[in-house]
Structure 1
C-alpha cells in the first residue's frame, strides 16, 4: 500500500528510486538515483543527457523548434534553448560536456498541419540534433518520428532511457 502523506507503511518499499515527473516545457536534473519521467510526447521531443563520470542526469520536454522570435519566456519550451538550459543545469551539478551523452525521443507527425515544408516534430528533432552538435554532445540513441505518442523514463543511475510508445513495445536506448 502506498501512503502519500509523507509516512511509509510497512509494505512500502524504501529502496525504490524517487520518481520525478517533468511536464511540457519543463526540465529536471538529478545527481542521485531518481527516475525522471515525461509523457505526452507527440511532436514534442524529450532530451535526456547523462554524464557517467559525475553521475548527473537530466531530462527536458521541449515543444517547439526555436525561441528565435520570442522575447523572454520559458527556455525549456524550445529545442534550442531547452537543450542549452539543460546543459547549463547539468554543468552546475558538476557534469562536463566531454562526458555528456544524449538520447532523444518524440518528434512524431501525429497532427501534421503543415502544407509546405517539414512538420513541427521533424523540425524539433532537427533543431535538437543541431544544438547538441553545437555543444559537442554526442547523440547516442534516438527514437523519433512516426505517428504515435511516447512516454519516457530516464533511469539516472544508468543513463538508460526507456521509451514507451502507444500501441507498441517499450524500447531502451
Structure 2
C-alpha cells in the first residue's frame, strides 16, 4: 500500500522544499516548508524569525542600523525598520510576536573605515538587538562579529538557521 503524504511525487520521488532567495535589503516570509537563503553577509545582518505555533518563518537581510535620516525608501535595508517590517509580515500570516524567536548572523568587521571606533557591523548588531528587545522577541541563537562573511539557510519547517562561512564549519542555530 502506497501512502501519499505530500513529501513524494506520485512516482515516488522525494520533493524538495521551495528555495526562496533573500537579497540584500529584502525579506521573505513563508508558512510552509520553504528554505529561505541569503548570502553576502559581511557587516550586514540576517535576522531569522520563527513562530513555532504557526510554523511561520521569515528572513530579512539588513545593511545599515537606522532609517532615521531616510524618508520613505526600502524599510528592509535598515535594522530598525527591517525587523519591524518582518515582524509585521509574519503577524499578517497569523504569527504572534509573543511566540517568535530570533536567530541572527553577520555583523562582521570586514572593512572598518569608521572614525569613531564603532563599526557598521557592531552598530547593526546593537540596533538589531534593541529592536528585537522592543518586541520582546528573544534571540535563541547567534553567530555574529568576527572578520568573515557568512551565508544563511533558514529551514522554515524546523526554524533551524544554518550559517556557512569560508573559514569555519557550518553552524546550526
The two structures have a TM-score, normalised by structure 2, of: 0.92
After superposing on structure 2, the runs of 4+ consecutive aligned residues of structure 1 that deviate more than 2 Å are: none
Question: Which whole-Å CA distance do the structure 2 matches of 1:123 and 1:85 have between them?
Answer: 19
Question: Which whole-Å CA distance do the structure 2 matches of 1:46 and 1:19 have between them?
Answer: 16
Instruction: Give the unaligned 5+ runs of structure 2.
Output: 1-10
- Matched residue count: 163
Cα displacement string for residues 53-82 of structure 1 (whole angstroms, at most 9, x for unaligned residues): 011000000000000110000000000000
How large is the RMSD of aligned CA atoms in angstroms?
A: 1.3
Cα displacement string for residues 89-112 of structure 1 (whole angstroms, at most 9, x for unaligned residues): 000000011110000000000011
Question: Which whole-Å CA distance do the structure 2 matches of 1:160 and 1:126 have between them?
Answer: 23
User: Hey, what does 2:94 align to over in structure 1?
Assistant: 94
Deviation at 1:117, TM superposition (A): 2.7
Instruction: Give the unaligned 5+ runs of structure 1.
Output: 1-10
Superposed counterparts of 1:33-112, under 5 Å: 33-112=33-112
The two structures have a TM-score, normalised by structure 1, of: 0.92
Question: Which whole-Å CA distance do the structure 2 matches of 1:125 and 1:156 have between them?
Answer: 23
Cα displacement string for residues 117-154 of structure 1 (whole angstroms, at most 9, x for unaligned residues): 31000000010000000011111111000000000000
Indicate yes or no: 2:170 matched with 1:170: yes
